[in-house]
Structure 1
Amino acid sequence: MDLKKVFISYSWGDKAHQDWVQNLGTRLINDGIDVTLDRWSAKEGHDITFFMETMVKKDLYDRVLIISDEKYSKKADNRDGGVGIETQIITPSIYKDGKQEKFLPLVVERDESDNVYLPIFLQNRLYFDFSKEEYFEETYENLVRNIYDAPQIVKPKLGNKPSYITDDQSIVNSNTSFLVRSLENQLSKNPNRINSLAQEFIDDFKSNLFEFRLNLENGITFLDAGKKSVDKIHEYRNLREDFIQFLQIITKTEYNFDVDIVKSLFEEKDVYNRPQDVNLRSWSTAEYQHYKFIFHELFIYVVAICLKNQNYNALAEFLHSPYFYQNSNIREIKAQKFIEIREHPEILNEYYKQEFNKISGSAELMISNLSDKLNKQLFIQADLLLHYIDELNNNDVLSYKKWFPVTYIYKGEELSNTFFSKLVSKKYFEKLKIVFDVDSIESFKEILIDYKANNEKQSRRNPSFGNGPWHGVPFIYDLFKIEEIGIYK
C-alpha cells in the first residue's frame, strides 16, 4: 500500500485545542500516515503564505484535514489571518475537485443549539464529527479508512458460511466492537461509569452470541456436524476478540467493576443450549453443542486476563463466589461452583479425534485459534490454575465433575511455573492468598498437606488423559516445597 500523506489545516486556539490537533496528528502517524502540521513543519523564517500555498496545492497530499471549530469557522468566513489565507487557497481547489475527496472537514465544536461550526465554503460537504467524545473512536476509524481508501464493509450474514477477517478488511459483526473501542476513552473521562458501561457491553455480547447457532440439515453425519461446529467457532472469533479486549480494560486494577456483571454471562450458559423460540418444535442439541466449547474457552480467558492484569481480587471472586446458573429444567436455582462451566462438546472432540487424531479437540482448537492479545503460556497457566483450585476445593477423587486442564498437553518445554514457584516469597503470597481463599501461610500449608495425604492414601496417580501416564499433570505440591512457602520476604 502506497504511503498516504495528509496536511492539517486549523486555527491556533488555546493550548488544549492545539494539543488535541497535535495528538490527532501523532496518532495518524502511528497508524502509518505521513502528517504535515505547522507545529512540526513550518520553521522560523519561512514565508507562511508560501508554506500554506505549497502544502495545500501539492499533489503529493492525499487529503487536507480541516479542523473546524468556532474560531476557524469565523476566521474563514471573514478571510482573517492565516486561516483566511488558507481559505482563499483552498476554496478554488474545492470547487475544481470533481472527486470531492481531498478536503475533509473535521468538526470539533458545536454551538449552543447543537449545530456544528463549519465555514460557509464547507457547509455543503460531508464532515467527520469529532465534537462528541463518546464517538471519537468510531469517527477516527472512519477517517483513517477514508484516507486509506478502505471504507468499512459490513458483510451480510450467509447462513452457516463462516466469515474471516482478512489483512485488508475489517468485518464488524455487532455493536460490541464500537462499545469496546469507546470504553477506555469514556472511562478516562468518568471511571465511575464502569459498571453501567460493562453492563451495556455484556448485554450486547449476550444478544449477539445467539446469532452463532448452527443450522444442521436432517441426516447430517456426525463428522460433518463437527466440521460445521468448528467453522461456527471460527466465525464467532471477532465477537470473542471484543470480549477479550473488554476484559483487558475492565480488569485493570484502577477500576472497581462489579464481577457479577461478567459472571451473569456464564450463569446464563444453559440458555444457549436450546432455541430462543420456545415454540420451535424441530431442533437438535447438536446445533448448540459448540456453545459448551465457547463458554469453557471464555472462562479460561477471564482467568488469564485477571492474571495478566494482576487483579487478584477480581480473580478470587470468579473462582470462589457462587454461580446461580439458569436452567429451565430446574425450578430451584442453587449456588454452584465455576466447575459447571466446563462441559464436553462431544461432536467437536470426536471430529478432531477422527479427522486429525487429536486427544482433545477442545484443546487443539483453543491453542490453534488463540487470541493475539494473549500468549499461549499464560492461557495454559490459567487453565492449570483452574484445575488446582478445583482440586483443592473438591478433594473427592471419585467426583465425575472435575476441571481437567486440557491445554496442558500443549505446554511444551517452555511453560513457566513462576506463578506457583514464587510462593516462597511472603510478599508474593500475601498478594495471592485471596486467589487460594486462605488467610495465612499456615492455613494454606494445612490444605496442601491434607490434599497430599488424601492422594497418597488413595494411591492416586497424576491426573492425565485416559488411563495412561502420558501428559500427566503434576500435583500442585510438586511445583514447590510446602515447607518453603513464605520463607523469603
Structure 2
Amino acid sequence: MILEEPLKSPKVFISYSWTSKKHQEWVLELAKRLKSSGIEVILDVWHLKVGHDKHWFMEQIQSEAVDKVLIICDESYMDKANNRVGGVGNETQIITPSVFEDVKQEKFIPIISERDISGKDYIPTFIKTRMYIDLSNSEKYEENLESLIRNLYNAPQYREPALGKPPAFLFENEIDHYETKTVLRKMKNALENHPSRIEFLSEEFIDAFIGCLNELQISNESIKDVSMLDELVKEKIDKSLPLRDDFIDFLKLLIESDKLDSEIFVELFEKMFVYTDKLSGVQHSYEYQFDQFKFLLNEIVLYTFLFMFKYKKFDIITELLDGEYQLKGVGLSNLHEFSFYLPSLDSLKTKLKINKVNYHADVLIQRSKNLKQELINTDLLIFHLVRFRDSSIYSTWFPKTYIYNGYHIPKIKFYFRLKSEKYALSVLRVFGLNSIEELQEKIEDFETVGYQQLFEKAPTPKQFIKYDEIATKI
C-alpha cells in the first residue's frame, strides 16, 4: 500500500477590527474552525499577552513562518484601514508595501465577513483588486470555508492537469486522418441535431476512410532494400492506429444513433480488400508489400464484431457471418477471407529475435489497450461461429490471439447466457442453426485448431458452456 505524504499544517495570522462583541465572536469561531482543520492560527486574543509589545505582535505578519494573512473585512476594518487608524491602521502600513510590490502576492487573503444593505462588500482600498473569499452569506459559508481551507493547504478542488505530450497527429509516423475526424465531428453534431443525416454521413466516412488508406501504400520506389520491407510494413501498421481508432469512434456513433446496417460493413470490408493485393496497372510487387492492409482489415473486422457482441447486435452479426463478399481476385467468398497470415511479421519476428508465438497476434494485443480480453473473446467467437457454418479446414477463421488467455479461460457472457432457454432460442440464428438440439450437438462435437508448435489448442465452445446446460433455465 502506498502511504500519502502528510500535508504540512499551514500557519495563518488573522487581522481584524474589534468592531463589536458579535464580530469578535464571529472571528473567534472562524479561528476555531481553522484550528480544528489542522491550521495553526495566530490570533490576538490567544497570543497577545499582557506586557507584550503590540508592534512586535503585528510584525509577525511579515514573518516567513506565517504562510497566509487573513484580512477580515467589515465596515469598521475598511474605515480604519483606509484612514490608518488604530491597530488596524498599523497593520495596514505593514501589509501595504508587500501587496503593492507584488501583483501576484498570495499571502494576503481578504475575507468578506459583512456587506452593506445593497450587498456591496467592505474592502479596504489597498486590497480592493484582490481575489477574496466571501464568508458573509450563511448559506454559502460552509462551501466557501472549504475553499479557504483548500487554499491554505494549497489543495485546490480543481487542479491544473500535468502538461501532456504533443498530439500524436503532429508526427510524421502517423497517418493524416483529418478527413475521417471531420466526418466524425459531423456525425456527432447530426446525432444531436439531425439524426436523419447519419446514414448519409456513414457513406461519407467510408469514402474518407478508404481515401486515407493511400497513405499506407508502400511504393516500389520506396523499397530501396527488399530485406527491409518487413520493417516498412510494421511502420505502416503503426501509422494506421489513429485510423483504427477513428473506425471505433464511427462504430460507437452508429450504435448510439441506432442506424446500424450490415451493408455499411460489407461495403467497407470489400473496399479495403482491394488494397490487399497490387493495384490495377502495377506490373510488379513484392511478396508482402500489402501486409499492412491485411493487418488493418483483419483488425477492423475484429472490432466490428467486438462492438456488435458488446451491444448485442445479433442481427448484424448473423448477416455478416452469413453474407457473401465480392472480393477482388477471389470472387464471392465468406468472412474467413479476412483472417490473414502475414509473412512480413513472421520475417520481422525472426530478424529481431522477438520471443512471441505469433507476432501478428502480439501487435493486435499491444494495440487493444483496455479492450484486450474482449478482443481475445471476439476472435474466439468468430472462429467458433465460422466453424459452425463450415467445418472444412479451408474456411477457418484462425483465432490467433487465443494464446493470450494463457492457462486461464475467462467467461464469455455470450456463452454463459445460453443457460437461459429464452436467450438460447433468440441467438440460434447467430450460430446458423435452427434448434437447441442442433446447437447442443454442434457444441459437443466441435473440433478445434491451434498453433502447430503448441500443445494447447484454441478453446472450444464446450469449455465455456456444457451442452447439457444449454436452455436449462426459463
Q: Secondary structure at the match of 2:327?
A: coil
CA distance in structure 2 between the partners assigned to 1:232 and 1:58 by the alignment: 55
1:422–1:428 CA contact under 8 A, matched in 2: yes
1:395 equivalent to 2:381? Answer no
Q: What is the Cα-based RMSD across aligned positions, in Å?
A: 3.3
Residue of structure 2 aligned with 1:261, choices 261, 264, 279: 264
Distance 1:274 1:392, change over 3 A: closer
Identity of aligned residues (%): 24
1:34-45 pair list within 5 angstroms = none
1:49-448 pair list within 5 angstroms = 155=170, 162-163=173-174, 173-215=177-219, 217-218=222-223, 220-222=225-227, 224-252=228-256, 255-276=258-279, 278-327=280-329, 333-334=331-332, 336-355=333-352, 356-370=354-368, 372=369, 374-396=370-392, 399-412=393-406, 413=408, 415-448=410-443
The two structures have a TM-score, normalised by structure 2, of: 0.60
Distance 1:302 1:430, change over 3 A: same
CA distance in structure 2 between the partners assigned to 1:287 and 1:225 by the alignment: 7
Distance 1:487 1:228, change over 3 A: same
CA distance in structure 1 between the partners assigned to 2:289 and 2:311 by the alignment: 36
Distance 1:411 1:199, change over 3 A: same
Q: Which amino acid aligns with 1:488?
A: K
CA shift for structure 1 position 153: 9.8
CA distance in structure 1 between the partners assigned to 2:167 and 2:119 by the alignment: 40
Distance 1:439 1:197, change over 3 A: farther
The aligned length equals 321
Q: Secondary structure at the match of 2:181?
A: helix
Q: Secondary structure at the match of 1:315?
A: helix
Q: Secondary structure at the match of 1:473?
A: coil
Aligned to 1:464: 450
1:478 equivalent to 2:463? Answer yes
Q: Which amino acid aligns with 1:286?
A: Y
Distance 1:153 1:296, change over 3 A: closer
CA distance in structure 1 between the partners assigned to 2:324 and 2:294 by the alignment: 20
CA distance in structure 2 between the partners assigned to 1:351 and 1:195 by the alignment: 41
Distance 1:282 1:322, change over 3 A: closer
CA shift for structure 1 position 295: 0.8
Deviations 1:259-282, CA, capped at 9 Å, x for gaps: 112211111233203454x44445
Deviations 1:59-108, CA, capped at 9 Å, x for gaps: 99xxxxxxxxxxxxxxxxxxxxxxxxxxxxxxxxxxxxxxxxxxxxxxxx
CA distance in structure 2 between the partners assigned to 1:354 and 1:285 by the alignment: 17
Give structure 1 stretches of 5+ with no counterpart: 1-43, 61-147, 165-171, 456-461
CA shift for structure 1 position 481: 1.6
Q: Which amino acid aligns with 1:359?
A: V
CA shift for structure 1 position 379: 0.6
Deviations 1:411-456, CA, capped at 9 Å, x for gaps: 243732332122111233244323212343233234435x44xx5x
CA shift for structure 1 position 247: 0.8
CA distance in structure 2 between the partners assigned to 1:428 and 1:45 by the alignment: 68
Q: Which amino acid aligns with 2:340?
A: E
Q: Which amino acid aligns with 1:366?
A: L
CA distance in structure 1 between the partners assigned to 2:295 and 2:428 by the alignment: 30
Q: Secondary structure at the match of 1:358?
A: coil
Distance 1:443 1:191, change over 3 A: farther
1:348–1:362 CA contact under 8 A, matched in 2: yes
Distance 1:154 1:357, change over 3 A: closer
Deviations 1:358-391, CA, capped at 9 Å, x for gaps: 2111101000122x4x521111110000110121
CA distance in structure 1 between the partners assigned to 2:131 and 2:215 by the alignment: 47
Deviations 1:265-312, CA, capped at 9 Å, x for gaps: 111233203454x44445434321221111111111111011112211
Distance 1:411 1:468, change over 3 A: closer
Q: Secondary structure at the match of 1:415?
A: coil
CA distance in structure 2 between the partners assigned to 1:417 and 1:153 by the alignment: 34
Deviations 1:206-239, CA, capped at 9 Å, x for gaps: 11112111246556243x2222211111111111
Distance 1:194 1:479, change over 3 A: same
CA distance in structure 2 between the partners assigned to 1:274 and 1:395 by the alignment: 27
Segments of 4+ moved more than 6 angstroms: 57-60, 148-154
The two structures have a TM-score, normalised by structure 1, of: 0.59
Aligned to 1:35: none
When Rg is computed on C-alpha atoms for both structures, the one with the higher figure is 2
Aligned to 2:46: none
Distance 1:225 1:430, change over 3 A: same
CA shift for structure 1 position 183: 1.4
Distance 1:152 1:466, change over 3 A: closer
Q: Secondary structure at the match of 2:326?
A: coil
Distance 1:486 1:151, change over 3 A: closer
Give structure 2 stretches of 5+ with no counterpart: 1-116, 133-162
